[in-house]
Amino acid sequence: MIWRCDLVPQYEAYQDEINEAIQRVLRSGRYVLGENVAAFEEEFASYIGCQCGVGVNSGTDALMLALWCFNLQKGDEVITTPFTAIPTYSAIRHVGATPVFVDVDPATFLMDLKQVEKALTAKTRAIVPVHLFGNVVDIEKLREIVGPDVFILEDCAQSHGASIRGKMSGSIGDIAAFSFYPTKNLGGYGDGGMVLTNCKDFAEMVRLRRMYGMINKDEFITDGINSRLDELQAAILRVKLRYLDQMNRRRQELATIYENLLDDSFIKPQLVKDGVNAVYHVYSTLCTERRDELMMYLEGKNIQTNVYYPMPLSQQRGYKNTFQTSVELPVTAEVSKRIIALPFYSEISAETLAFVANSINEFYHRMI
């Protein structure tokens, strides 16, 4: 079977260092918020180009704790994209704000910046652009549109190491949320996340709130939750961070192989604009037609594909009544029907990619 994503080859490539890091933690007797978490916070913040990093339990918690810094009140609006993983949306709801959707661009699949201005109201307090599939939203342009008073939270769950005009995603807005879920470009072997910011007050708030609002074992100065990053994940992530650029470069080479081989009259890759250094968290492309039949055809050849995201958030059963019904999201609806994620991870071989690409071309050419 050719898996859409296989995590074992990456473990095998770095297993000596990873096993040693795990052993050191197990022997240390300190398993949560210890020296590895502190070191990883510094190393990852410095890699992205931010002053402060606070390790938390997941990307969802990172989004929620970041939004919590904005002191949002009921009725405050937070703009985001409907074409993202559910946590982007649920985090906004969790802090009691009202999510507002802006449709996506049909070629980049990123929030359509041309539409942001129309979505701004007197109640808009923040915006959460998502650097989807490792592509990068132009945050500087977004800042010009929203002005200085709307907080920008970058959802970087899929964009570790991606940059625009030389600036890393996660370093440009007011605050950023990263996920270290195993499949991410930088992934651990369990859940993990981090909030990055240059604002010391925000960082301090997140630091307090990730552990009950505690300043010492007997004093609690604010509301908080339990969202700690554990030492094992931090130790593993420290090893993998050293190889992130190398793994991302390989993803870029592999993306170019797909791009060169796939017949773009039938299947169109995600547009990466000039100045963007994308890191291809997944390789998602748009089929001109017959997406579901293509997926079945590939399955018959033992090629696993996937769809991110088959059902727009606005149509999810649990969220239907939470969504402004007046807003039309035609591009998201269309892209959801035509998008397909092909087998892709940094250790997949060029030969396997060629087999997948040829199988797709064969499917479409038979049709003519």
Measured from the CB atom, is 110 or 303 closer to ligand PLP? 110
Angle at 259 between CA 253 and CA 261, to 5 degrees: 105
Contacts by residues 170-173 (CB-CB < 8 Å, ≥ 24 positions apart):
170/48, 170/50, 170/196, 171/48, 171/49, 171/50, 171/196, 171/198, 172/139, 172/140, 173/129, 173/139, 173/143
Q: Count the alpha carbons within 13 Å of 144 in the hemisphere toward its beta carbon.
A: 5
Which residues pair with residue 211 across a beta bridge?
A: 226
Instruction: Figure out which of the listed residues 2, 25, 66, 85 binds ligand PLP, where binding follows CB under 6 A.
Output: 85
The number of angstroms, rounded, from the C-alpha of 125 to the middle of its chain's C-alpha atoms is 22
Instruction: Figure out which of the listed residues 2, 36, 37, 60 binds ligand PLP, where binding follows CB under 6 A.
Output: 60
Q: Compute the Cα dihedral for 70, 76, 82, 87 and give only its sign.
A: positive
In the numeric block, the tokens 């003519």 are attached to: 368
Told to check if 158 binds ligand PLP by CB under 6 A, we report yes
By CB under 6 A, which span of 68-76, 134-142, 152-160, 218-226 interacts with ligand PLP? 152-160
Please say whether the beta carbons of 193 and 237 come within 8 A. Answer: no
Measured from the CB atom, is 137 or 208 closer to ligand PLP? 137
Measured from the CB atom, is 10 or 158 closer to ligand PLP? 158
Measured from the CB atom, is 59 or 360 closer to ligand PLP? 59
Measured from the CB atom, is 84 or 185 closer to ligand PLP? 84
Query: Which structure tokens are listed for 153?
Result: 């939270």
By CB under 6 A, which span of 55-63, 106-114, 221-229, 324-332 interacts with ligand PLP? 55-63
The CB density around residue 337, as the number of other CB atoms within 10 Å, is 14
**Cα 225 to Cα 204: distance, rounded to the nearest angstrom:** 14
By CB under 6 A, which span of 20-28, 150-158, 219-227, 338-346 interacts with ligand PLP? 150-158
Measured from the CB atom, is 59 or 262 closer to ligand PLP? 59
Told to check if 230 binds ligand PLP by CB under 6 A, we report no
Residue 238 — φ and ψ, nearest 5°?
-65, -40
In the numeric block, the tokens 């559910």 are attached to: 86
Instruction: Figure out which of the listed residues 88, 98, 163, 270 binds ligand PLP, where binding follows CB under 6 A.
Output: 88
Residue 145 Cβ, how far from ligand PLP at the closest point, in Å? 21
Residue 221 Cβ, how far from ligand PLP at the closest point, in Å? 26
**Cα 135 to Cα 162: distance, rounded to the nearest angstrom:** 7
Told to check if 59 binds ligand PLP by CB under 6 A, we report yes
Candidates 30, 117, 28; CA nearest to 79 is: 117
**Cα 110 to Cα 133: distance, rounded to the nearest angstrom:** 9
Burial of 91 (0-12, 13-18, 19+ CB in 10 A): buried
Told to check if 65 binds ligand PLP by CB under 6 A, we report no
By CB under 6 A, which span of 47-55, 59-67, 294-302, 309-317 interacts with ligand PLP? 59-67
By CB under 6 A, which span of 18-26, 83-91, 221-229, 245-253 interacts with ligand PLP? 83-91
By CB under 6 A, which span of 80-88, 161-169, 270-278, 339-347 interacts with ligand PLP? 80-88
Told to check if 87 binds ligand PLP by CB under 6 A, we report yes
Residue 193 Cβ, how far from ligand PLP at the closest point, in Å? 5
Candidates 191, 174, 230, 199; CA nearest to 87 is: 191
Told to check if 58 binds ligand PLP by CB under 6 A, we report yes
Instruction: Figure out which of the listed residues 193, 224, 269, 343 binds ligand PLP, where binding follows CB under 6 A.
Output: 193
Told to check if 278 binds ligand PLP by CB under 6 A, we report no
Q: Total binding residues for ligand PLP by CB under 6 A? A: 16
Instruction: Figure out which of the listed residues 98, 179, 305, 336 binds ligand PLP, where binding follows CB under 6 A.
Output: 179
Residues of this chain that bind ligand PLP (CB under 6 A): 58-60, 63, 84-85, 87-88, 130, 155, 157-158, 179, 181, 191, 193
